[in-house]
Amino acid sequence: MRQKLLFILISLLTATMAWGTSGNYGTWVVSTPANAPVIKVVREHTGLGMMEAKNLVEQAHQSPCYVLEKVTLDEAKALALELNELGATAKVVDMTTDRYVRLYPREKACYFDEYGAYFGPEEEYLVGATTYQGAYYTGDYTSPFKTYLGKTDEEIQAKLDQLWNHYFKDDYNSKVYFETNDGAYIKDINNGDVRSEGMSYGMMICVQTNHKEEFDKLWNFAKNHMWHKNGQWDGYFAWHCEPSGVQKDQGCAPDAEMYFVMSLLLAANRWNEPSYMEDAQYILKKCWKNGNGSLFSENYYVITFQPNNCPDFSDPSYDLPSFVDLFARWSNTNKDKWSKAADKTRDHLFKSSHPTSGLFSEYNNFNGTPHYEYTSSSTKYMYDAMRCAMNFGMDYYLFGNRADSITVMAKRIIDFFEKDEYQHARFNWDGTDPSESYTLGETGCNAVACYALMDARGYDEKIKRNLDMAWKAKLMTGQYRYYDGLVHYLSMLHLCGSFKIWKNMSEEVPLNYDVNNDGNVNVADVVNMVKLVKNNQYAMKYDFVDDRQLDSKDVDSAAKYVLKKKDGHK
């Protein structure tokens, strides 16, 4: 493992900032409760005497201070975890590049994992907004299993553990994850091969469930055996290969590229690993080739079925608007194109929803109408198409852009399956000619779609029914467990509140006293700050004193700014 400077940051009472210098791994204390167990741990890891350790812990209440230098990442994480268990909040941060890092208290914030990775409110969070705002802005990932079915945190975690063990760790008849000498792969059991789709799904599951070792093994296999770094497929992944790594087809399946990039971006932020970010940025750059071979149509800004061989039509289940939205925010290249693509992706997904059945076709044109290619199944609601419900449901609760349109799609498809009584899986686009039995994957995807119905009147029982089916669904074993099993697993991450947008916290958030977002800073903004404090609402962009809460200190900060601004005009 390459050496770089790492700090463990511990915070309980005050939010502070730390500046680092180039070097190896190290440990910082920011603030921590001055109690015997914490002091004991500090002594064990540093060799300090009792008084020295006590003074260090007490000093951390006021300003950052070193605990340990030049340790490995694993050692740093172990210390962070141990301190967290004692009531401190320990944050492991890569400070190789001397960047500003914010530290926040655990007891006043619930937006960090045990290593300090952040998934909380965004600076764009519009306080008092009258329109729906998703978890990206608010940091609220409350599971509907809790609010609708009354499940406890312990029950939800047990469900997540069951899913992980079943598909990644149990016996050969249930798991789809297999390790090799140079990594690991997700196996399509029925076809006996390794698919980019499954590999990217596996990586997303790993980053969201905090399994870095398995993530790295999957990524090593994908990089070594599937990732193209030159030629017409440069930046893309061979869509399937043998378990040995031998490619069966060089062409890509673009839904995999979407999940590969998104999982790498989230992993870079959650685990503070720059190499993931470098790889993600390489792929993002190669998705736009200024001509033939772009992953998205250069004319329509909608994802293609395949960039080189089938660039003139799409697969609506590849529409992942929340992912594209994040690409537009986080990509270092082609930001204007990604922004257009985010808008057009939402357009395309809505147009792809049949106006009465709410179903989606397997393949379609850029105007949303079914596209015939290869077989007649291409124009029907089949295997790929069920994912569209998960995609728009995800977009609703993560962002909420065009919330009303997403709710229309959700009403259409849930009303349709209610009439069908959740009996069938395959239909014509208009809902005629039902066949086959309702699947595990559909059970999960349609439950995620219900996020968009939670503010709609008259849908509570339908929501509960879908959530209950997803919760009680029997996990798949045997020959066909790969696809439906993983789609259901991804759906359960969304429904358990465990599919989070992990954010890069290494950049300073500028102060913005325009609380009511009217373009002016005046007394009205101070009044709005008072309302926020009174209602116990938190928004990062208005945490002016940077202590991870909104209180009178933030009101004072806004008031002083307004008075200073007013005095400057006299």
Give the model confidence (pLDDT) of 365-388 as tens digits. 999 999 999 999 999 999 999 999
Q: Averaged over 327-348, what is the pLDDT? A: 97
The whole-number pLDDT of residue 101 equals 29
Enclosing H/E stretch for 568: helix 552-568
Q: Averaged over 532-555, what is the pLDDT? A: 70
98 has a pLDDT exceeding 70: no
The whole-number pLDDT of residue 62 equals 47
Alpha-carbon radius of gyration of the chain: 25
Lowest mean pLDDT among 77-86, 211-220, 329-338: 77-86
The whole-number pLDDT of residue 437 equals 98
Highest mean pLDDT among 45-59, 81-95, 126-140, 420-434: 420-434
User: Greater confidence, 73 or 297?
Assistant: 297
The whole-number pLDDT of residue 117 equals 84
CA atoms of 251 and 236, how far apart (whole Å): 8
The amino acid at 270:
R
Q: Averaged over 36-53, what is the pLDDT? A: 71
Q: Using an 8 Å Cβ cutoff, are 465 and 449 in contact?
A: no
Dihedral Cα 153, 156, 161, 167, nearest 10 deg: -160
Q: Averaged over 452-468, what is the pLDDT? A: 96
Q: Using an 8 Å Cβ cutoff, are 452 and 440 in contact?
A: no
Question: Which string of DSSP letters, residue by residue, matches 377-425?
Answer: GGGSB-TTTTHHHHHHHHHHHHT-TTHHHHHHHHHHHHHHHHHHTT-EE
Phi, psi of 375 (to 5 degrees): -140, 170
Query: pLDDT tens digits for 386-431?
Result: 999 999 999 999 999 999 999 999 999 999 999 999 999 999 999 9
User: Greater confidence, 564 or 569?
Assistant: 564
The amino acid at 204:
M
Check residue 242 and give left, alpha or beta (phi > 0: left; psi -120 to 50: alpha): beta
Lowest mean pLDDT among 104-113, 181-190, 216-225, 552-561: 104-113
Active-site residue, from 188, 214, 384, 395: 384
The whole-number pLDDT of residue 5 equals 40
Q: Is 384 considered catalytic here?
A: yes
Map out the domains of the chain with their CATH numbers.
Answer: 6-108 (3.30.1390.10), 522-570 (no CATH)
- Mapping DSSP onto H, E and C, the string for 472-507 reads HCCCCCCCCHHHHHHHHHHHHHHHCCCCCCCECCCC
Check residue 399 and give left, alpha or beta (phi > 0: left; psi -120 to 50: alpha): alpha
CA atoms of 107 and 568, how far apart (whole Å): 39
The whole-number pLDDT of residue 29 equals 43
Active-site residue, from 122, 197, 319, 547: 197
Of 491, 504, 468, 434, which Cα lies nearest the Cα of 151?
468
177 has a pLDDT exceeding 60: yes
32 has a pLDDT exceeding 70: no
Query: pLDDT tens digits for 134-167?
Result: 999 888 899 999 999 999 999 999 999 999 999 9
CA atoms of 410 and 367, how far apart (whole Å): 20
Q: Averaged over 114-126, what is the pLDDT? A: 72
The whole-number pLDDT of residue 568 equals 46
567 has a pLDDT exceeding 80: no
Q: Which two tokens stand for residue 376?
A: 């007649």
Which residues lie across from 10 on neighbouring strands? 90
Other Cβ atoms closer than 10 A to 40: 13
Q: Is 197 considered catalytic here?
A: yes
Check residue 50 and give left, alpha or beta (phi > 0: left; psi -120 to 50: alpha): alpha
